Amino acid sequence: MKKKKIVILTGAGMSAESGIKTFRDSDGLWENYPVQQVASIEGYEENPRLVLDFYNARRKELLRTVPNHGHLKVAELENYYDVAVVTQNVDNLHERAGSSHVIHLHGELMKATSSRNPNDPACICDISPEHPEIRLGDKAADGSQLRPYIVWFGEAVPRFEDAIREAETADIFIIIGTSMQVYPAAGLIRYIRRGIPVYVIDPKVVPVSCASPVHTIAKGASEGMDELFKILLKE
């Protein structure tokens, strides 16, 4: 019997329980770093050392972090469903928890790429935990300075088409820890089939507009996933 397809859209709240700071909360990273300074091509061109150091610090933080219970429960869904995770997070906690099909919309912190052609597959490379820093003078395959493989503000989201294809085939759509205010990720819900169930896991009110029944679980990622499991396994 063919498994039902679940597509899960995750945001910063998914990893917050692991201790990774979100950008937009009151004590988040934007409080210390203006967004244009560390998350735009203009900021990078003006002060590449600052930007490299910022992401080097984020990478070292990630290496000290482990997946939380919510990540593990998302991975466990694969025992019962065909699961695709679409994440706005740049960490690798879904993969480390065991999820096998993860689409990163905003890039991956543990990868580096070309400053000249950031989406050229020939220039995208893994960063090893043993050597987690990108330094000035480190070169990509095309000879340009290596930069973080992060989608900065104003840049194209290269994997959004992949995410759309997954959303179009979903039998169940789950939203965890995202405000649904950041596009194009928030627009993914427009591509689901009319009438399929949508579950929103977040302690805050998340505005979701779609032609499907929306079930809200007003809890954090871990407690919310535990509750969702009880609902899904009753079906």
Active-site residue list: 106
Q: How many helices (H) and strands (E) does the chain have?
A: 8, 9
Spatial separation of the C-alpha atoms in residues 176 and 221, rounded to whole Å: 6
DSSP 217: E
Residues 71 and 94: beta-carbon distance below 8 Å: yes
Relative to beta strand 102-104, strand 5-10 is unpaired
Output the DSSP codes for 78-129. Answer: GGTSEEEEEES--S-HHHHHT-S-EEESSEEEEEEEESS-TT-GGG-EE--T
Torsion angle, alpha carbons of 226, 228, 233, 235, to 10: 160
DSSP 215: E
Torsion angle, alpha carbons of 220, 97, 160, 216, to 10: -20
Residue 20: Cβ within 10 Å count: 20
Residue 126: Cβ within 10 Å count: 10
**Alpha-carbon distances, residue 45 vs 34, 115, 146 (angstroms):** 15, 10, 13
